[in-house]
Amino acid sequence: MPGTHIEDLSQHVGGDVELHGWLYNKRSSGKIRFLLLRDGTGVVQCVMMKGNISEELFASFDQLTQESSFSVKGKVRKDERAPGGFEIELSALKIHQIAKEYPITPKEHGVEFLADRRHLWLRSARQHAIMRVRHTIIKAIRDFFDGRGFTLVDSPILTPNAVEGTTTLFETEYFDLGKAYLTQSGQLYAEAGAMAFGKVYCFGPTFRAEKSKTRRHLSEFWMVEPEVAFNDLNDNIELAEEFLEYIVQTVLKNRAEELKNLERNTTFLENVKKPLARISYDEAVEILKKKGVAFEWGNDFGGTDETVISEQFDRPVIVHRYPAKIKAFYMKRDPLNPELALAVDVLAPEGYGEIIGGSQREDDLDVLLQRIAEHKLPQSAFEWYLDLRRFGSVPHSGFGLGIERTVGWICGLDHVRETIPFPRMIYRLAP
């Protein structure tokens, strides 16, 4: 059954192949009929010529409806005019199933209509391009860390404690042990991994009960989180720069066709090379003030603030040293100004906002105990984490990159809902 795949047709020019797939579209003009077959790797037109094939075979054209499943045999011809550059001179056809009237037609549909049919919408050319870019981003991420001596140490999803504040926790009952929470970030466990293996990353789904209905927020999203023993904030920033360069340049190289189909202007993506732009929080606030934004030092940046800041740069901008007050309990304070945390965010250009958040971690036991108390967190739930400071504590740093925001930025999409196969948002849990 396997047959050939459309993306490999260039190796079969002049030869006979068998292809399996679904009907993307069809058209006819007089004695010639075209079936557009989609197989998940591409779309190819299969040509049926009256007189060259049996009446019965020629008539099967009429039976096939959009998304009907079928297999064809035929000769591969190179044809510059054909979509994809090849066509199949059809000689045999086997129908697997005639599809019922397909709800998604080539006409425009509203986004809610499509989102309700996400299981079918994934078959569309645009979604196909986005998912292939997502795949390549994820592969680039793994290749990057695997090629640099990092060990994959995955974090649990059911956890007894919060990482990123207590307001966005999803809660569930956990047998006789009380409450469990869906993880907001694998970081705390990655820190344990770093003390065991030096350089680690975890990569998995993370959850936030975000009440906000924005184009950047999902309640379930994927995050990759490297954590490195003996890295300080500066080492962390350099790792983030090298990492982003690798991801973006890999996508530009391997997914040019998909980016073209998405009509992505790649000028700014080509600029994603080390060193990126670097500013402090204070400098970012200055930018906002110069642009006439009413912003008070000490606040966190909102979506529009991030857009204004990032619009000043033609590549991602690294913003470091935020007021400690607005950042998580585990961040180390700047020894030169204890009001600041050794935090780092990376804002994508063109208004895509924050894609990376990270920091150097507090490595002193007593200071960390004090922070846990200040943040009113239950110390007992963090005893294991505090052990990392009791037994051979060292400076260490890491960050988290959100996959969906990265896909949205690289593909040039205006909402994260199209960046993940089945999005979960405040108002969407299905399909």
Q: Contact residues for ligand NSS (CB under 6 A)? A: 163-164, 185, 187, 208, 210, 217-218, 221, 223, 225, 354-358, 398-400, 402, 404-405, 416
Residue among 87 and 191 whose Cβ is closer to ligand NSS? 191
Q: What are phi and psi of 411, to 5 degrees?
A: -80, -15
Nearest of 245, 205, 250 to residue 225 by alpha carbon = 205
- Min dist. Cβ of residue 333 to ligand NSS (A): 16
- Min dist. Cβ of residue 76 to ligand NSS (A): 43
| CA–CA distance, 270 with 252 (Å, rounded to integer) | 8
- Min dist. Cβ of residue 23 to ligand NSS (A): 36
Strands (E), 265-332: 277-280, 317-323
360: β partners: 397
Residue among 187 and 231 whose Cβ is closer to ligand NSS? 187
* Residue 131 token pair: 């998912």
Beta strand 317-323 with 277-280 is parallel
Which helix or strand (DSSP H or E) is residue 355 part of?
strand 353-360
- Min dist. Cβ of residue 54 to ligand NSS (A): 55
How many CB atoms sit inside 10 A of residue 388's CB? 21
- Min dist. Cβ of residue 218 to ligand NSS (A): 4
Residue among 279 and 355 whose Cβ is closer to ligand NSS? 355
Residue among 105 and 212 whose Cβ is closer to ligand NSS? 212
Residue among 323 and 357 whose Cβ is closer to ligand NSS? 357
- Min dist. Cβ of residue 406 to ligand NSS (A): 7
| CA–CA distance, 160 with 145 (Å, rounded to integer) | 28
Over 136-157, what HEC string results? HHHHHHHHHHHCCCCEECCCCC
Buried b (16+ CB within 10 A) or exposed e, 255-286: beebbeebebebebbebbeeebbebebeebbe
- Min dist. Cβ of residue 29 to ligand NSS (A): 47
Is 382 buried (19+), middle (13-18) or exposed (0-12) by CB count in 10 A?
Answer: buried
Q: Which residues touch 233 (CB under 8 Å, ≥6 apart)?
A: 320, 342, 344, 359, 360, 397
Residue among 58 and 301 whose Cβ is closer to ligand NSS? 301
- Min dist. Cβ of residue 136 to ligand NSS (A): 18
Residue among 45 and 185 whose Cβ is closer to ligand NSS? 185
171: β partners: 181
Nearest of 72, 106, 69 to residue 88 by alpha carbon = 72
Residue among 36 and 194 whose Cβ is closer to ligand NSS? 194
- Min dist. Cβ of residue 305 to ligand NSS (A): 15
Residue among 19 and 368 whose Cβ is closer to ligand NSS? 368
